[in-house]
Structure 1
Amino acid sequence: MSQSPAMSATAEPSSMKHEVQSPNFRKTPIQVLHEYGTKRGSLPVYALEKAEGEDHQPRFVFSVTIRDVCCTGQGSSKKAAKHLAADAALKLLPTDAVTVNLPLKSGSNGAAETTGPPNSVGRLQELALQRGWRRPEYTVLMEAGPPHMREFTVTCRLESLTENASGKSKKAAKRATAEKMIPKLLRLPGCSEFTWVSPKPSVRLENLKNSMAEKISLLRRKPLSIPNTDYIQMLLEVAKEQGFEVTYFDIDELTVNGRYQCLAELSTDPVTVCHGTGISCGNAHNDAAHGALQYVKIMASIK
């Protein structure tokens, strides 16, 4: 039997019909394809065809061969590429390939034993990376309840999207909020409720030393040791002039001295991250902005 032409897959496999769902199971295309091959005595064979791109944005191409079908998938991780290849293969196989159902596991009392939810955190990260976005950010918003019945509320931030969920542990709450975020993200391309967010603009740090613009020139001359200076506003003005963005991330834990702390991230190339502390969140932001300005000043003054 001749081999079918290779097929390239670029869509996210998790939303395809081949992901079999039941009250206790959700199977990925790789799992479904493996079960199909097991039943027919011909297991799928995966091969890495190509690995390219920069370290921060790699691209992998995997092929899968099963019986007379050969397909390829491309993704920002090896796992994502394999999922896409398997999903493409399932489309070409007989329809009974997608009707595989595992029996429910039974516990010692004969009742059905439920399994935990799938790895939604990893799946959400793959979805974000495939779109060229930064990884999702998780923050613990609240802890409540007595020590033996704690409940944690976690927020997930992905570009302009946010979602909250609670759980009996930080890990469970993180997984739950990722599960809520995934369908929101999958609806994004065809839903007017959300705005598609492009990757943040990036400015090479080495270009700052050649800039003679007003704000960066003033930064070279102005001392950064004047009390009560609004460094947040100063950094914002420099960022707008030079074309990069500034994002502040609050850290949940206080320092050993009881001070608030945060990180200021500049969308430069390479990315600049500065730590700040203060007696309040605002003070911590100002301190982080001060550190970022000091770094930008050094980079802009190098001859």
Structure 2
Amino acid sequence: MSAVLATPPTPQVAASAPLRSPAQPPRTRRKILRRLPAIAGVNGLLLVGCAYMILPLLWLVFAATKDATGLYSGDVFVFGGAFLANMEQLFTQDGGIFVRWLVNSILYAGIGAVVGGFIALMAGYAFDKFEFRGKGTWYGAVLVGVLIPNTATVIPLYLLAASVGLTNTIWAVVIPTLCNPFSVYLARVFSAGYIPDETLEAARVDGAGTVRTFLRIGLPMLTPGFVTIALFQFVGIWNNFMLPLIMLQNRDLFPSSVGIALWQSQVQQNPEFSTLVIAGSFISILPLVIAFVMLQRFWRSGLSAGSVK
């Protein structure tokens, strides 16, 4: 007769109480309250900065639709009905001289942006990847050039151009724009952030020369940086006023900035020129907006060069 062992009863597990999220400690709440003034101050400064940049553009858009009477009377941010008349007057004034000024600005800024940007790219690449005698001294001179304002170099540039007979020519405006110390500095930053030294070493092992390595490997990798530098060059040359004002005497060679200033000087004698100034300023910002919109995917990636390692 076999014995049957009794199975011990299974112990009942008591149901655990539902978990409750701990209440936010008073210390964290006080810390958040202490940070509120700083957050409000930072966001307030950002709003003031945005208003400082956007409100003048908005005023220009509304002012371009008004005649001379509505420009100095009535509400500021209200559209007028003279936009087409202002545009017609702008492009027909003095035989359409504004179109020539606009083409001159595009020519000066385009050559300076493309050629000057490429020269700066090569210089920054050389400062970053090559070792040569006096490298630190030459790069220090570039950094000193960044600190010197462009207006301080206008008179020396005019004397140099006058000594070789280049004043009152397009070369007097184009040649100084081909060398920009700030662009060289940016190019070195982009070269250090985009081109690994191992890639160039592999190209040298495969037998590629210095020029071929730069054109086939370095230049494609530096495309976002080149577009960013070219945009900065384009904007700086487009807005340049003192250099063409000093260098040029022929009105047909003026860029739009100097031409609009010429019209502005006649507003006191003829108030009708005020609409020409406003309409010309409105048209002058359109190429900059178009350039930034079309090339934004390049310069946005270019501005983040070297931010992530």
Name the one with the larger strand percent: 1
**TM-score normalised according to structure 2 size:** 0.24
Q: Which has the higher contact order (CA 8 A, sep 6+)?
A: 2
Please identify which structure carries the higher helix content.
Answer: 2
Please give the TM-score of this superposition, normalised by the length of structure 1.
Answer: 0.24
